[in-house]
Amino acid sequence: MVRIGPHTLYCADAYRLRPQLGFFDAEVMDPPYVIRTAGGGSFRKHRPYLDQIQQEGLDRGFDHKIINPLLCGSVVVFCHNDQLPGVSAYLNGLFHRFALCVWRKLTPMPVANKHYVPELELYFHAWNRGYHPEGSLADLKRVVECRSRALKDYAHPAVKPDEVMNKILRNVSGRTVIDPFMGTGSTGVAAIRAGKIFTGIEHNPKHFQTAIARISAAWEQANR
């Protein structure tokens, strides 16, 4: 466990630890997708992130039960297109309402793999009464558009851009935020910028160290 000001980071298994940490106003997560990491044709050599996703087991999906409406006022959860039916069915009835939102990539990979060009990433925002989305009309739009982040930035294959995470953290209500799949700490950085108190869980020691560095820098900048 590492404390950075009022923020707390754990290097641990989220499925075991999360139930012990109690209630948070918002839960924001980018859990493992269910995706095909094979193929890619002649463009494969330009997509090293697929190899890393496979090596780190980030292509195997996640256990939906980690989302518990008794432990959070709202939840934001990213998912792959193929996970939409399962995640939607799981959220339906657990929360008061939910919305499907979209990050539209301005620089999508020029591939299709017998599908559609992957220019959209999807996320649900579900909430209970009293934890509805917040923000200006511009913030409450369901679509956010920006470029993807390069793999070289933080040596992680699925880091969300600042523009996406900053918008999401402006949308979630309440002061306390937890991310059980913290990765390199993008949710924590955005939470600090939004004036919220962050708790993160990450099982990969390398990514955990990156998260410590990023969140420490964000905390220092916020207190200058």
Averaged pLDDT, 181-199: 97
Higher-confidence position of 54 and 209: 209
Averaged pLDDT, 143-164: 79
> ∠ CA(110), CA(144), CA(154), 5° rounding?
65
| 174 dihedral zone (left: phi>0; alpha: psi -120 to 50; beta) | left
Residues near 114 by beta carbon (within 8 Å), at least 6 away in sequence: none
Amino acid 144: pLDDT: 96
- CA nearest 67: which of 46, 90, 44? 90
> 102 is written with which tokens?
């979209």
pTM for the full model? Answer: 0.89
- Count how many domains the chain has: 1
**Which residue range forms the structural domain that includes residue 207?**
2-222
For residue 34, give the CATH number of its domain: 3.40.50.150
**Residues 127, 77: contact at Cβ < 8 Å?**
no
CB atoms within 10 A of CB 2: 15
Averaged pLDDT, 191-201: 98
> 88 is written with which tokens?
């939607």
Provide the terminal-to-terminal Cα distance of the chain, rounded to the nearest Å. Answer: 25
**Residues 111, 153: contact at Cβ < 8 Å?**
no
> 156 is written with which tokens?
């992680």
| 186-193 and 162-171 helices, crossing angle to 10° | 50
